[in-house]
Amino acid sequence: MIDQRLYEEFRDIGRDIFVTGMTSSHGGNMSVRVGDKIIIKRRGAQLGRLKPTDFVETSFEEKDSGIIRASTELIVHRAIYEKTSALAVVHAHPRTAIVLSLSRDEIIPIDNEGSYLLRKIPVVTVELASGSKEMATKVSEALQGYKVIMQRGHGCFAIGQTLEEAYAWVSALEEVSDIILEHKLLGEEMIEYRKHSESYAKW
């Protein structure tokens, strides 16, 4: 069901997410859309050590037995594919971004590269940690206008045409968050260098 090329992409990006500290050993998940099916990491598989048998193929819309083994977040992935033009979804737990999400309703990059790439990352609040309808609805709706969004206190969801693209947004988000945190820790006044920077809040 999953060909070698696609497996290698899952494996390599899963390993990168783990080794860069953006998830714990068994956290995070990823999926791609193929035709009217979703290929998603199976529940409990280690993102940094994915094997060809660690994937579940399930229907895009209808329930089937594949959901027994699929990631807990399958409901969120399905909603994202239904409501956006995403072809790949990456969910991770980038630590600094999670820290910022605890006190902010949006993360607005202050570095040049981050402003250029992301402009703004909205933060949505969901009571349950994972797998709820509320989470599926809020996350998928937020991703209609953004490539990556934060769920407060939990983690991020990013979308792309490929896993690599979605992972790039996750990686950029964490870099942006690190810079914000370190600048805040430094405690110095920021010298604005961007035109229209006030407009990023409205992005």
Tokens of 161: 């045409």
Q: What is the rounded CA–CA span in Å between residue 30 and residue 157? A: 9
Which residue number, 98 or 121, has a Cβ lying nearer to other proteins?
121
Alpha-carbon distance 10 to 16, whole Å? 10
The residue among 83 and 95 lying less far from other proteins, judged by its C-beta, is: 83
169-to-88, 104, 160 alpha-carbon distances in Å: 12, 19, 9
Nearer to other proteins by Cβ, of 152 and 203: the residue is 203
Q: How far apart are CA 195 and CA 199, in angstroms?
A: 9
Q: How far is the CB of 55 from other proteins (least distance, A)?
A: 12
Shortest Cβ 54–other proteins spacing (Å): 17
| Min CB(168)–other proteins separation in Å | 7
Cβ of residue 147: shortest distance to other proteins, in angstroms?
8
Question: Crossing angle of helices 4-19/163-186, nearest 10°?
Answer: 10
Min dist. Cβ of residue 185 to other proteins (A) = 29
Q: Closer CB to other proteins, residue 78 or residue 98? A: 78
From the number of C-beta atoms within 10 Å of its C-beta (0-12, 13-18, 19+), residue 172 rates as: buried
Tokens of 96: 């600094």
Residue placing its CB nearer to other proteins in the complex, 57 or 67: 57
What angle (nearest 5°) sits at the alpha carbon of residue 78, between those of residues 76 and 80? 70
Under the rule (CB under 8 A), what is the footprint of other proteins?
A: 2-3, 5-6, 32-37, 83-85, 87, 116, 119, 144-147, 160-162, 164-165, 168, 195-196, 199, 202-203
